[in-house]
Amino acid sequence: MRNPLNPAVVGIKPSGIRKFFDIVTEMKDAISLGVGEPDFATPWHIREEGIYSLEKARTHYTSNSGLIELRREISSFVERHYDVHYESKNEILVTVGGSEAIDLAIRAMVCPGDEVIIPQPCYVSYEPCVILTQGVPVTIPLQEKNEFRLTAQELRDAITEKTKMLVLPFPNNPTGAIMTREDLEAIAEVCIEKDIVVVSDEIYSELTYGTKHVSIASLPGMWERTILINGFSKGHAMTGWRLGYACGPAEIIQQMMKIHQFAIMCAPTASQYAAIDALKNGDEDVAMMRDAYDKRRRYVLHELRDMGLSCFEPYGAFYVFPCIAEFGMSSEEFATKLLQEEKVAIVPGTAFGDSGEGFLRISYAYSLESLKEALGRLRRFVVKLRAEKQ
C-alpha cells in the first residue's frame, strides 16, 4: 500500500505539552498546577440558557457566521470593553473556540513561503497552523528582562521582505505577560510601516489585573490590518462549550467564513445561545472570577518569591512563569523530577517554545487549598535541590 499520509502533517511535532501529559497520566495520585482552563464551572445562568435552548428544540444549524443575535452581542461587547467597532452583519465570525479562529485567520491569509512572526513562549497552535499553510514561522524569543513583552526592536529585527503576518498573543499564555497601550503603539507603528497584518489572540483579555486590556485593533491605522480573536473559554469559564470568534475587515472575515463554512458549517447551536446570555448578563461573573484570580495571583507570586525563585509580576491570564535556571536542569528535567518526587504536575516552559527553557508555567486556576498544598510541595522540592547542590 502506498503511504497514505501527508508528509507536511507527519512532519509536525506533537505538542510539547502532549509529551508531558503522557508522563503525568501514568502518575495516578499526582496533583496539578498544569491546567490551562478556569477551575470555575460556567455560571449557572449561562448553563441554564444552554439547557433552555435544548428544551426549546433549538437543535438545528445556525447561519455559517453564527446567530445574528450573538454577533450583535459580540459587537456590543467588543465595543464596550475594547473601544473598537465591528459590524455584526459581516465583520464577525463565530467559531469553534478561539483556536479555530486562529487556524482560519492564518489559512485565509498566509501563502506558501510567507513568513509569520510568532513571539514565544506562546500557545501551542500558531506554529503548526502556519506550517500547514506552507508558510514559514519565524519565532522571536521573548525576554524575561522585558517581562516577556514584545518590543518594537525585536519585531523590526525579525522582519524580512517575506514577512506577512504577526501573531500577537497577549495577555499571554504561558507567561501571563500583557502589552500596555504604549507597548502596542510601538508595535503598531512597525506593522503599519512594514505593511504587516496582525492576528491578535486576545482570549485572556478579560483577565488582566490592575489595568484594563487594550486591543491593538483599537489603535489608529490598525483596524484594517488586524484580525481580533477572542472567545468565551477563559473570561466566562466556558472552555467545554467550544466557542470563540474572529472580528476584522469584511474582506478577510468573509474568506475565513468560506473555510469555516466548508470545514465546520457552524459553531454548536446550544453554545451560541448560552453565549448570548454570557454577554448580556455575565459582566458580574467575570468580575467575580477576575477578583478571585487576582488574589491567588498575588498569593502564588508571593510564595514563589518567598522560596527564592525569581519571577516577574504577571498582570494577565492565570499563569505565573518562574525561573528555575539556578538548579542547572532543563525545564523538562525539573518538571519530571518534581512530578516523580513530589507528585506535582507543572508544565515546563519549553512546552511553549524553546525560549521557555529555564522556566515553568504555574497555573493559578485552582482553589487556594490546592495552591497551598502544591506550592508547599514545590517549596520542599526546591529546598532539597538547593541542599543537594551544596
Q: Using CB under 8 A, list all residues that contact another protein.
A: 15, 17, 20-21, 24-25, 30, 32, 34-37, 39, 41, 123-124, 173, 291, 295-296, 298-299, 302, 345, 347, 351, 368, 370
Distances (CA, A) of 273 to 41, 56, 261, 301: 17, 11, 19, 38
Query: Whole-number minimum distance, CB 359 to another protein, in Å?
Result: 15
Handedness of CA 96, 101, 107, 113 (dihedral sign): negative
Query: Whole-number minimum distance, CB 83 to another protein, in Å?
Result: 27
Nearest-angstrom CA–CA distance, 36 and 319: 8
- The cell for 22 is 503522557
Nearest residue (CB) to another protein, 278 versus 351: 351
Query: Whole-number minimum distance, CB 121 to another protein, in Å?
Result: 11
Query: Whole-number minimum distance, CB 270 to another protein, in Å?
Result: 20
Nearest residue (CB) to another protein, 66 versus 314: 314
Query: Whole-number minimum distance, CB 313 to another protein, in Å?
Result: 11
Query: Whole-number minimum distance, CB 303 to another protein, in Å?
Result: 8
Query: Whole-number minimum distance, CB 374 to another protein, in Å?
Result: 12
Nearest residue (CB) to another protein, 53 versus 331: 331
Helix (H) or strand (E) holding 221: none
Nearest residue (CB) to another protein, 9 versus 368: 368
Phi, psi of 126 (to 5 degrees): -60, -50
Query: Whole-number minimum distance, CB 32 to another protein, in Å?
Result: 4
Query: Whole-number minimum distance, CB 212 to another protein, in Å?
Result: 18
Nearest-angstrom CA–CA distance, 31 and 24: 10
Nearest residue (CB) to another protein, 49 versus 303: 303
| Other CB atoms within 10 Å distance of the CB of residue 218 | 19
Query: Whole-number minimum distance, CB 102 to another protein, in Å?
Result: 12
Pairing of strands 360-363, 319-320: antiparallel
Task: Count CA within 13 A, CB hemisphere, residue 300.
Answer: 32
Nearest residue (CB) to another protein, 30 versus 109: 30
Nearest residue (CB) to another protein, 73 versus 303: 303
Closest CA relative to residue 200, chosen from 95, 126, 89: 126
Calculate helix-pair angle for 331-342, 16-26, nearest 10 degrees. Answer: 20
Q: Are 99 and 244 in contact (CB under 8 A)?
A: yes
Closest CA relative to residue 98, chosen from 312, 251, 243: 243
Nearest residue (CB) to another protein, 210 versus 220: 210
Q: Are 140 and 119 in contact (CB under 8 A)?
A: yes
- Report how far Cα 124 is from the mean position of its chain's Cα atoms: 9
Nearest residue (CB) to another protein, 30 versus 78: 30
Residue 262: Cβ-neighbour burial (10 angstroms; 0-12, 13-18, 19+): exposed
Nearest residue (CB) to another protein, 90 versus 370: 370
Q: Are 135 and 166 in contact (CB under 8 A)?
A: no
Q: What Rg, from alpha-carbon coordinates, does the chain have?
A: 21
Nearest-angstrom CA–CA distance, 15 and 352: 9
